[in-house]
Chains A and B, each alone.
Chain A
Amino acid sequence: GAVVSQHPSWVICKSGTSVKIECRSLDFQATTMFWYRQFPKQSLMLMATSNEGSKATYEQGVEKDKFLINHASLTLSTLTVTSAHPEDSSFYICSARPASVVDTQYFGPGTRLTVL
């Protein structure tokens, strides 16, 4: 099946620094990638939808200047958490949708971010 990787799988950083998370589709081209966040005991919440070569669409309440998304190729999207604060500590997970399939998305394994 289709494989999506995420890197890093976990990261600890100091408050005020920026952290970049990569999401790659390894064996298919993804015109659309999604970024989710999950707080403890909560649902996966969609943060933004990124389409290759265009600006990401952010969900209500998600600061686009804080969570920078770049989808420069059909196999790579990055999420940069800028000036991270402890309240940004969460589990971030991406998914990728193949170009030819509308109702399917393949998830990465997620990244655990802890901001000290």
Chain B
Amino acid sequence: ILNVEQSPQSLHVQEGDSTNFTCSFPSSNFYALHWYRWETAKSPEALFVMTLNGDEKKKGRISATLNTKEGYSYLYIKGSQPEDSATYLCAVRDDKIIFGKGTRLHILP
């Protein structure tokens, strides 16, 4: 895996709106994809680990999907709340783990 791309880099969303962002990766030699939420001055917190094409995971208002054939994962947040403001990191593992630069999400009150 050469590169893990996350888009957009930054996102402003009105409180109550739903949103989603993308993690793209080369689809060869894929083993697992991780999503983390990273609040300022805190430790990154694991959200999901996905390994199989078509995987869908959900945790409260946050869900994620995985398409290993085309090399992308979406993270969805439904009904955004101020506490969702954070940087969301995607990491993809084949023989080593490669992180994207993250999507910084700002929830506007």
Do A and B pair up? The answer is yes
Residue pairs across A and B with Cβ atoms less than 8 A apart, 15 shown, are A36-B99, A41-B101, A43-B98, A43-B100, A44-B89, A93-B44, A103-B34, A103-B93, A105-B46, A106-B43, A107-B44, A108-B43, A109-B42, A109-B43, A110-B43
B contact residues vs A (CB 8 Å cutoff): 4, 32, 34, 36, 41-46, 49, 51, 89, 91, 93, 96-102
Which chain A residue lies CB-closest to B96?
Answer: A46
User: Measured between C-beta atoms, what is the minimum distance from B57 to chain A in Å?
Assistant: 13
CB 8 Å contact bits of A82-116 with B (1 = contact, 0 = none): 00000000000100000000011111111000000
Interface of B is mostly: strand
In the assembled complex, which residues on chain B have CB atoms less than 8 Å from the CB atom of A103?
32, 34, 49, 51, 93
Task: How many A-B residue pairs have C-beta atoms within 8 angstroms? Tell me.
Answer: 37
**Given known A109-B41, A109-B42, contact A43–B4 (CB-CB < 8 A):** yes
**Beyond the given A43-B99, A43-B100, A107-B45, could you list 18 further A-B residue pairs with CB under 8 A, ordered by the A residue number?**
A4-B43, A36-B99, A42-B101, A43-B4, A43-B98, A44-B91, A44-B99, A46-B96, A46-B97, A59-B96, A103-B34, A103-B51, A104-B46, A106-B46, A107-B43, A107-B44, A108-B43, A110-B43
Output the residue of B4, B42, B97 with the most chain A CB within 10 A.
B97
Interface of A is mostly: loop
Chain A interface extent, by class: 10 to 19
Q: How far is the CA of A115 from the CA of B41 in the complex (A)?
A: 20
